[in-house]
Amino acid sequence: MIETERLILKPLTYGQLVKYIKCDNSLEVELNLNETSRTISAELKEAFEQTILPNVADKSKNYLYSTLWTAISKIDNKMIGDLCIVGEPNPDGEIEIGYGVYDEFQNKGFMTEVVRGMIEWAKTQPEIKAIIASTEKINTASFKVLEKNNFIKIGEKGSLFHWKLEIHTN
């Protein structure tokens, strides 16, 4: 678990991920949270089925690098968004992150805080040397989150910008 000023970031277990996908507030009940009106996109549902759930179920892997980290507002006692690490560190010590905030909580600085919390956690993991991310070029809010957290744009391809933040340098 990671705690920031306004948020708690909680890595979800396999059983909690299954409840998350249902969007029936069963996860909120389990976590003693207020209900949300969150929905799950077709892309995220597919990512759950194809990648996230199988990787979290794989006992040979550290599930923290595959699961969804849900962001919970301390004041609202509600889930406000999520962050996912896309697998264990690669041979260069890089982890890739993806994130999103629910519509009703946008433009409040929550995702900047979520990413900052994840950076602080990553600094405590000696195997992580850098964090990378990709954003749609048209998604200004998403890349502003990275800019505010000192990520550097390292390239672009098609509709995406690619970003990197060095954590530990040798």
Tens of pLDDT, residue by residue over 121-133, are: 999 999 999 999 9
Predicted pLDDT at 160: 96
Mean pLDDT throughout 109-121?
A: 98
Query: In Å, how far are 30, 63, 76, 94 from 87, measured between CA atoms?
Result: 26, 9, 30, 10
Mean pLDDT throughout 40-58?
A: 90
Q: Inform me whether the pLDDT recorded for 170 exceeds 70.
A: no
pLDDT band at 36 (very low <50, low <70, confident <90, very high): confident
Mean pLDDT throughout 135-162?
A: 97
Predicted pLDDT at 40: 87
Predicted pLDDT at 34: 97
What gap in Å lies between CA 91 and CA 114, rounded to an integer?
25
Mean pLDDT throughout 40-68?
A: 91
Verdict on whether the full-model pTM lies above 0.85: yes
Query: In Å, how far are 19, 32, 51, 75, 118 from 128, measured between CA atoms?
Result: 30, 32, 21, 31, 12
Predicted pLDDT at 41: 83
Fold of 2-166: Aminopeptidase (3.40.630)
Predicted pLDDT at 74: 98
Predicted pLDDT at 169: 64
